[in-house]
Amino acid sequence: MLADGREIRSSVVSSQIALHAVHGGVVPELAARAHLEGLATVVDAALAPVPGGWDAIDAIAVTRGPGLAGCLIVGTMYATGAAIARGLPIVGVSHLAGHVYSAWLADPDLEPPYLALLVSGGHTECVVLREHGVAERLAATRDDAAGEAFDKVARLLGLEYPGGPAIQRVAPSGDPRRFPLPRTRLKGAFSFSGLKTAVRYLVRDLGPAALDENGVPADPQVVADLAASFQVAAVDQLVAGLEVAADRTGATTVAVVGGVAANRALRDAVGARFRGLRVVIPPFDLCTDNAAMIAAAGWQRLRVHGPDAPGFDVDPSLAECA
């Protein structure tokens, strides 16, 4: 729950990592069922510390896309039912806009325009928020998102899901120069499929004797070296893409948002590369998916565009960023 769009009064996150970890990635059907089973409990927990509970709520914001259709439907149906029952305005929000607004939520002095590198499991793009309600996508991935590449490379190395924290955990003990990896440069776009495939070939070329029964490197040092080499290459691609966007827009403020923004190597690299500019990176709990960022984006959307009519459709491919 937010007050005045920016003050976090309550924020509760229910993680499904343990549910999906045994499968090495998100299983859509399981995700939707877990949403259905846990949503009411999470909402009750979020309202518990708020004086007045539901009576203190003035409007409802809910993610309408992009994302898994089943999960989006569960969320919007619950939110729509609550809005109708309580007579409250409702607004459908883009998940991407939520991430862009996580920076605005984290820094009380931040206002548009600002340039955001949005990097998560499903998205990698540069977005400029020109003013509240007006955003422009400057670059997007043509294939794998950076977070997806982290997950897939972690699987190649025999590391646990999610891959980002797993690679970050082992990379510091590795040599990032041992395995040279490509840095894909595309005009107005990102690409991580080539980097992921290069790691796959490196693992294959180690030979059967160097792999365990699961086909992953048996030597922990090799795993660490591969993880370090991959992380450096991935971060370099992200920072280079952000630099191009910053030069193109003349940005004086850059933000890094999304789940991969929790990566320490990326945070350090952005801080070093953009020294002299204003750099905003939300705290870890606002980088990963959370309802507070959706509420912040929803507050601005409601202010600029007004409420949506209950019964709006979800859009698993929604591309809006504001």
pLDDT tens column, 186-233: 999 999 999 999 999 999 999 999 999 999 999 999 999 999 999 999
What does the pLDDT read at residue 247?
96
Co-location of 73 and 127 in the same domain: no
* Residue 226 covered by a domain: yes
Among 130, 101, 80, 15, which residue's Cα sits nearest to residue 295? 101
Asked whether residue 86 carries a pLDDT value surpassing 90, the answer given is yes
What does the pLDDT read at residue 22?
85
CATH number at residue 80: 3.30.420.40
Asked whether residue 139 carries a pLDDT value surpassing 90, the answer given is yes
Co-location of 117 and 169 in the same domain: yes
- SS3 assignment, position 130: strand
Co-location of 53 and 119 in the same domain: no
Asked whether residue 154 carries a pLDDT value surpassing 90, the answer given is yes
What does the pLDDT read at residue 21?
86
Per-residue pLDDT band for 244 (boundaries 50, 70, 90) equals: very high
Asked whether residue 316 carries a pLDDT value surpassing 90, the answer given is yes
Co-location of 23 and 167 in the same domain: no
d(CA 82, CA 98): 21
* Residue 197 covered by a domain: yes
Averaged confidence pLDDT in the chain:
96
Asked whether residue 107 carries a pLDDT value surpassing 90, the answer given is yes
DSSP class per residue in 171-232: GGGS-TTSS------BTTEE--HHHHHHHHHHHHHT-GGGB-TTSSBS-HHHHHHHHHHHHH
Domain count for the chain: 2
* Residue 265 covered by a domain: yes
* Residue 140 covered by a domain: yes
Residues 78-97 have a mean pLDDT of: 97
* Residue 107 covered by a domain: no
Among 259, 315, 318, which residue's Cα sits nearest to residue 13? 259
Residues 132-159 have a mean pLDDT of: 96
Q: Against a cut of 0.85, is the pTM above it?
A: yes
Co-location of 53 and 42 in the same domain: yes
What does the pLDDT read at residue 289?
94
* Residue 317 covered by a domain: no
Co-location of 162 and 263 in the same domain: yes
Co-location of 140 and 93 in the same domain: no
Co-location of 212 and 94 in the same domain: no
Co-location of 122 and 260 in the same domain: yes
For residue 18, give its domain range. 2-99+287-305
What does the pLDDT read at residue 201?
98
Co-location of 147 and 224 in the same domain: yes
Co-location of 93 and 119 in the same domain: no
What does the pLDDT read at residue 24?
84
Q: Which amino acid is at 102?
A: S
Asked whether residue 92 carries a pLDDT value surpassing 90, the answer given is yes
Tokens of 140: 């997007």
Per-residue pLDDT band for 23 (boundaries 50, 70, 90) equals: confident
Asked whether residue 25 carries a pLDDT value surpassing 90, the answer given is no
What does the pLDDT read at residue 17?
87
